């Protein structure tokens, strides 16, 4: 089946492309979703206008995605999930949950496939999630995930600031210096030498003198 793409379809074609596709893919997906038209004589006459419309749509999408990336960059979203006795979630925080949370707070819909999660989110914490948009824009968001224990108590997550980390490190260094100094003083402490003369022997000598 030969079709004319009227919208960009990643991996298949861009608006204005004329391509042969499998019949099932064309009839069951491209045509019903208005991603393409049959490459009939009349539709081919519209090819230039279709390409122009595709270029304009591409530019508009790029601008929208850049604006959304600026809006979302460094934003923080909060989620909470039940945890088991070991403090782990029963499942993991997935892309769909993050997408729904963002949409509920910003009224902007995001495809869950755009999120970049390096490691599974399986326990409470603060995580940085990347977002890669189709037109090249990128941003990152923070996800603060609290836990809910079996009693229904919220396990809050506190973010440690960079200054707190520096202060903690400095305190540890000071403590280590004190311990090292204490060990050094203990090791170098002079040991009192025993008197070369035995007190008991001196007593015996005095007694011998008296007897003599």
Q: For residue range 143-183, what is the model confidence (pLDDT) as tens digits?
A: 999 999 888 888 877 544 334 434 544 555 555 555 566 56
Task: Give pLDDT tens digits for 1-24.
Answer: 999 999 999 899 999 999 999 999
> Domain ends where: 104, 127, 155?
155
Q: Are residues 88 and 111 in the same domain?
A: yes
Q: Are residues 50 and 94 in the same domain?
A: no
Q: Are residues 45 and 78 in the same domain?
A: no
Please tell me the pTM assigned to this model.
0.64
**Structural domain includes residue 198:** no
Token readout for 43 is 């539709």
**Structural domain includes residue 59:** yes
Instruction: List all residues 6 or more positions away from 74 whose beta carbon is below 8 Å from its beta carbon.
Output: 139, 140, 141, 142
pLDDT at 152: 85
Give 11's DSSP letter.
T
> Domain ends where: 132, 155, 178?
155
Task: Give pLDDT tens digits for 128-140.
Answer: 999 999 989 999 9
Per-residue confidence at 201, pLDDT binned at 50, 70, 90?
very low
Q: Are residues 113 and 48 in the same domain?
A: no
Q: Are residues 86 and 40 in the same domain?
A: no
Q: Are residues 44 and 89 in the same domain?
A: no
Please report, for the domain that includes residue 38, its CATH number. Answer: 3.40.5.10
Instruction: List all residues 6 or more positions away from 155 whose beta carbon is below 8 Å from its beta carbon.
Output: 83, 87, 124, 146, 147, 148, 149
Least confident of 7-16, 102-111, 161-170, 200-209: 161-170
Q: Are residues 84 and 140 in the same domain?
A: yes
- pLDDT of 189 above 60: no
Q: Are residues 134 and 79 in the same domain?
A: yes
10 closest CA partner among 113, 94, 102: 113
**Structural domain includes residue 190:** no
**Structural domain includes residue 131:** yes
Which H or E run contains 99? Answer: helix 95-106
Mean pLDDT value across the chain: 82
Residue 35 is part of which domain span? 2-70
> Domain ends where: 25, 44, 70?
70
Q: Are residues 151 and 87 in the same domain?
A: yes
Instruction: List all residues 6 or more positions away from 37 whose beta carbon is below 8 Å from its beta carbon.
Output: 3, 4, 6, 31, 43
**Structural domain includes residue 134:** yes
**Structural domain includes residue 184:** no
Instruction: Classify the phi-psi angles of 125: left when phi > 0, otherwise alpha if psi is within -120 to 50, otherwise beta.
Output: left
- pLDDT of 198 above 80: no
- Section 64-76 average pLDDT: 94
Q: Are residues 78 and 118 in the same domain?
A: yes
Q: Residue 90: helix, strand or coil by DSSP?
A: coil
């Amino acid at each position: 089946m030969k079709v004319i793409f009227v919208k960009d379809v990643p991996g298949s074609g861009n608006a204005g492309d004329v391509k042969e596709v499998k019949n099932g893919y064309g009839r069951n997906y491209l045509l019903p979703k208005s991603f393409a038209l049959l490459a009939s004589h009349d539709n081919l006459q519209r090819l230039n206008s279709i390409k122009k419309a595709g270029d304009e749509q591409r530019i508009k999408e790029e601008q929208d995605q850049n604006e959304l990336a600026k809006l979302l960059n460094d934003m923080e979203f909060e989620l909470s999930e039940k945890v088991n006795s070991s403090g782990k979630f029963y499942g993991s925080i997935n892309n769909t949950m993050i997408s729904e949370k963002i949409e509920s707070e910003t009224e902007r819909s995001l495809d869950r496939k755009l999120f970049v999660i390096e490691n599974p989110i399986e326990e409470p914490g603060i995580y940085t999630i990347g977002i890669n948009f189709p037109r090249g824009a990128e941003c990152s968001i923070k996800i603060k995930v609290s836990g809910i224990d079996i009693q229904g108590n919220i396990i809050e997550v506190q973010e440690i600031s960079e200054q707190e980390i520096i202060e903690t490190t400095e305190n540890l260094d000071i403590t280590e210096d004190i311990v090292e100094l204490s060990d050094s003083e203990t090791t170098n402490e002079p040991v009192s030498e025993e008197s070369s003369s035995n007190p008991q022997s001196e007593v015996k000598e005095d007694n011998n003198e008296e007897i003599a």
